[in-house]
């Protein structure tokens, strides 16, 4: 039993995880194929562009992640073991095109996080 207070059917849960992973891998495959196509033909011919709303060539998984996350805009603590060490504080400002969290630290510097823990302040 997880922290939800209910029993989970592990077979169904595993199948759901694999299905969603497959969907995301399909998005990446489609994006890569689209990039190859768009590299060969100008947008004026294809009517398509690989540019995301942020003006960068970006994987659609990151675009979807950015829309679904509750982290962007929130104050956070970040570090490797927040139970033992207090970590650093900052504000999550975006998801980078490569999937890392973009955090503005208390000194105003942009930090890219690719591992560790975060907690909302």
What length does the chain have? 121
- Supply the pTM of this predicted model: 0.55
Look-up: residue for tokens 């992973």? 21
pLDDT in tens, 78-118: 998 888 888 999 999 998 887 889 999 999 999 999 888 88
CA pair distance 60, 49, nearest whole angstrom: 13
Query: What are residue 99's DSSP bridge partners?
Result: none
Look-up: residue for tokens 């890392």? 100
Topology of domain 75-120, per CATH? SH3 type barrels. (2.30.30)
pLDDT in tens, 70-79: 899 999 999 9
Domain with CATH 2.30.30.100 in the chain: 75-120
């Amino acid at each position: 039993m997880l922290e939800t207070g209910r029993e989970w059917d592990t077979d169904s849960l595993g199948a759901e995880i694999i299905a969603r992973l497959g969907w995301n891998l399909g998005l990446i495959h489609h994006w890569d194929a689209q990039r190859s196509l768009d590299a060969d033909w100008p947008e004026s011919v294809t009517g398509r562009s690989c540019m995301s709303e942020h003006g960068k060539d970006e994987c659609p998984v990151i675009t979807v992640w950015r829309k679904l996350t509750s982290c962007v805009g929130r104050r956070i603590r970040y570090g490797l073991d927040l139970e033992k060490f207090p970590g650093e504080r900052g504000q999550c400002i975006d998801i980078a095109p490569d999937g890392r969290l973009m955090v503005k630290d208390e000194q105003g510097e942009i930090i890219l996080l690719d591992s560790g823990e975060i907690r909302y302040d």
